[in-house]
Structure 1
Amino acid sequence: MSAPPLSLRWRRRDEPLPAVAVAASGAVVTQLGADALMRVTAGAHLRACVGREQSWLVVLGDEADLPWADGAVYLGWDGGLLVPTLAQPWPCADLLREPLRRLTKQQTGLIALLPELVLAGPLPREPLDPARLAPS
């Protein structure tokens, strides 16, 4: 017997979370990666987690240093998860954290919960390596 699907709803936050990351998937990855590389070259201290075959990208850093791309989503910490700065999940992030960690097998890694997507990977500790974002 399998568990019933999780019914997740989103509502607008009264106060936005501070942005600590920005995420992109699909075609937006290239644009976000290019802006991240430009900012690193200019001296920004950014870290990044890249999905398989560059299908998604999460860039972490100081809010003022975060790159921008049309279609990317800014994220903030909520209950140990990265979620959109302007949206709040229900059930709350505190209740979603452990089930998502089990589902993604990321006990200590990064999990970004977006309205239509869950991104998971190791939490980057080293500065962004431009070679990881170079087009393949």
Structure 2
Amino acid sequence: MNAPSLSLRWRRRDDPLPAAAVAASGAVVVELRTDTLMRVTAGARLRACIGREQSWLIVLGDPADLPWADGAVYLGWDGGVLVPTLAQPWPCADLLREPLCRLTDQQAGLIALLPGLVLAGPLPQEPVDPVRLAPS
């Protein structure tokens, strides 16, 4: 069976979205997790959603508290979907939210749309638990 797909185009935003989260996948997850744990230890109030086998990580928080990792992407809210702060999808995120919810089985969860990648999981409500976020 073929996986469903969405055909999107991206363009640079005239005005960047305010950063609300940062996402990483693959090898970048290690660096983003490390900086997230350092910031939480220093008092930052961050929330995180991590993929199966720690294949991706999204960290949400105030822009000044967000961690940094080379290769990570800063995200902002657009139509209930997290998208890169500097990029705008077409069709617009407002039209994409429902199809993305159905595609990912995340009716009330967190959906991040990046070029070539959709990340979805439960919307974290509690602050980062350093023990849970530590490498397994």
| Common fold: TM-score over 0.5 | yes
Find the aligned partners of 2:117 and 2:14 in 1 and give their Cα distance.
Answer: 23
Mapped partners of 1:127, 1:5: distance in 2 = 33
Q: Output the CA distance in 1 between the equivalents of 2:37 and 2:5.
A: 38
Flag structure 2 segments of 5+ consecutive residues without an equivalent. Answer: none
User: How many residue pairs are counted as aligned between the two chains?
Assistant: 135
Give 1:5 deviation, angstroms.
4.4
- Equivalent residue number for residue 37 of structure 1: 37
Equivalent residue number for residue 89 of structure 2: 89
Over the aligned positions, Cα root-mean-square deviation in angstroms equals: 1.5
1:8 corresponds to: 8
1:69 partner letter: A
1:14-53 to structure 2, matched below 5 A, reads 14-53=14-53
Quote how far apart the aligned CAs of 1:105 are.
0.5
AA matched with 2:121: G
CA deviations over 1:1-44 (Å, ceiling 9, x no partner): x9x84320000000000000000000000100000000000000
Asked if 1:106 is matched to 2:106, the reply is: yes
- AA of the residue aligned to 2:74: Y
Instruction: Determine the C-alpha separation between the residues in 2 that align with 1:49 and 1:78.
Output: 18
TM (norm. structure 1) is 0.96
* Mapped partners of 2:125, 2:107: distance in 1: 16
Structure 1 gap ranges (5+): none
Matched, 1:68 2:68: yes
- The letter for the 1-side match of 2:85 is T
How far apart, in 1, do the equivalents of 2:9 and 2:103 lie?
A: 19
Output the amino acid matched with 2:122. P
Query: Structure 1: how far apart are the matches of 2:132 and 2:64?
Result: 22
